[in-house]
Structure 1
Amino acid sequence: MSTSPALLLVRAAHPRQAVATAAVLAAAAAVSGRPLREVVLVAGTVLVGQSILGWADDLTDRPRDQRHRPDKPLAGDALDPGTVWFALTCAVLLVVPLSVAHGRLAGISYLTLLAVSAIGDRFLHARVLSFVPWMVSFALYPAFLAYGGWNGVGTDSPPTVALTVLAAALGLGVHVLTALPGLVHDHEEGERSFPLVLALRTGTPRLLVGASVFTGVATVAILIAGRTVGLS
């Protein structure tokens, strides 16, 4: 029994990461005191944005996935790349007005975040500087929330330096943790990403423990900073 193209598109969008990111950002918006309609707008914007990044990632990695991950929708003939390109284009046309609806500065922050993530994944994924787009994009999330508003009217309150730095640190930890399952294939492909370089020096088990602790500490520090210094 064949899977419908719609379900295959959802799978190619990295749905777990998309939903988790949208839920975390929406929760952060709610905790910061944003009204429900703005919380929903945050969740919708981030969900569309993360889907764009998921599709772009699978399109970029298609040749590699055909060698190592034939179960992925784009790796075989189950999902046509043209279908994904069409969905991605539609999502880009949707995410721009969604981002602008948060206000000018918030919209610029989020669209910059998406651009940095997509370009970084395309050009730095296999290099030792692979952590840079992750840290930069995560550092922009507080700006997206702090400047955010409704109906194109945002605020002029910048995010606190503490939360921006901690968010960047969280991005580093998340990058390492999400890269760990594919390090063997990365090594076979001759790549030298930042997590792979660390794993070759420390060993994967130690890197897993260290990255988990680092990410956990960064998460707790963000929660503490959010309660003390606040978002903006």
Structure 2
Amino acid sequence: MTLPTSAIRWLGGTTPALLVRAAHPRQALLTTIALTAAASLSGRAGREVALVAATVLVGQLVLGWNNDLVDASADHDHQRIKPIVDGLPASTLSFALTCAVLLLIPLSVNNGLMAGACYLVSVAVGALGTLRNRLVRQGPLSWLPWAISFGLYPAFLSYGGWGGRATGDAPSITLTVLCALLGVGVHVFTALWGLVADDADGWHYLPLWLARRTGATPLLLGSIVYLGVVGAAIAVVAEQSGLAA
């Protein structure tokens, strides 16, 4: 049975649906699936893989909700199709974000103190990278939080285990660098659809700097190729050497 259009619109406007949209679900799911798959392929026990999935997913919720809260004013100004523009109260989003942060801390620590610290730092750096300032998010260092955040993923997986006392091995330096490079590529790719508005707001960050020199379409194609190459390199290195140094 197909739901009528009015019912679909009503469901799309409910608070749970708006919260899902505000979490940037595609990026959240892709990141969760990728890190969960890496944990599984590295031979981790089933409960550890499930813990990685839960930890990463909640961390992605924190990043997505924080981003929409920070951008609320700009989203209203540009009338973007965002949940917080479509009726999701900022207070509701703030409450959901607070709950997610409180859940993320014990989940992260249960992966082991070192692994949990690496993931919490990764999320914190990612959240700080969304703050609207002229040097980092809007300026020449826009790539840095993405590189640091993604570069900590191998450490989270390599040090991880089950329980706060779990200890693992130091991550592969090569894999760490490749994941950092992947983060820079993801930054460029995800920024492409907002370049016009960001240019109007006077931003001078890496994706806009590249787009002015290459054009948006070549940059889109180039970023896809870049992500494919770096992703393949990560797969090869991980398969040959594992996560640890």
Deviations 1:70-119 (A, max 9, x none): 4211024x111000000000110000000000001001000000110001
Report the equivalent of 1:191.
Answer: 203
Equivalent residue in structure 1 for 2:103, among 94, 103, 109: 94
Deviation of 1:148 (Å)? 0.4
Contact 1:63–1:75 under 8 Å retained in 2: no
Contact 2:161–2:168 under 8 Å retained in 1: no
Deviations 1:135-163 (A, max 9, x none): 01000000000000002232240001110
Deviation of 1:126 (Å)? 1.2
Measure, in 1, the Cα distance between the counterparts of 2:23 and 2:189: 19
TM-score (norm 2): 0.91
Deviation of 1:213 (Å)? 1.5
Question: Does residue 95 of structure 2 align to residue 52 of structure 1?
Answer: no
Could you tell me which amino acid in structure 2 is paired with residue 109 of structure 1?
C
Contact 2:147–2:180 under 8 Å retained in 1: yes
Equivalent residue in structure 2 for 1:108, among 104, 117, 127: 117
Deviation of 1:28 (Å)? 0.4
Equivalent residue in structure 2 for 1:68, among 53, 75, 78: 78
Measure, in 1, the Cα distance between the counterparts of 2:85 and 2:72: 6
Measure, in 2, the Cα distance between the counterparts of 1:151 and 1:85: 29
Equivalent residue in structure 2 for 1:11, among 18, 21, 25: 21
- Residue range with higher mean Cα deviation, 60-69 or 28-37: 60-69
Gaps of 5+ in 1: none
Measure, in 2, the Cα distance between the counterparts of 1:204 and 1:163: 29
Q: CA RMSD in A?
A: 1.2
Identity of aligned residues (%): 52
Measure, in 1, the Cα distance between the counterparts of 2:165 and 2:89: 39
Question: Does residue 83 of structure 2 align to residue 80 of structure 1?
Answer: no
Report the equivalent of 2:177.
Answer: 165
Equivalent residue in structure 2 for 1:174, among 181, 186, 194: 186
Size of the aligned set, in residue pairs, is: 231
Measure, in 1, the Cα distance between the counterparts of 2:53 and 2:166: 16
Deviation of 1:46 (Å)? 0.6
Could you tell me which amino acid in structure 1 is paired with residue 60 of structure 2?
Q
Measure, in 1, the Cα distance between the counterparts of 2:234 and 2:33: 16
Could you tell me which amino acid in structure 2 is paired with residue 201 of structure 1?
R
TM-score (norm 1): 0.96
Report the equivalent of 2:155.
Answer: 143
Gaps of 5+ in 2: 1-5
Deviation of 1:69 (Å)? 3.9
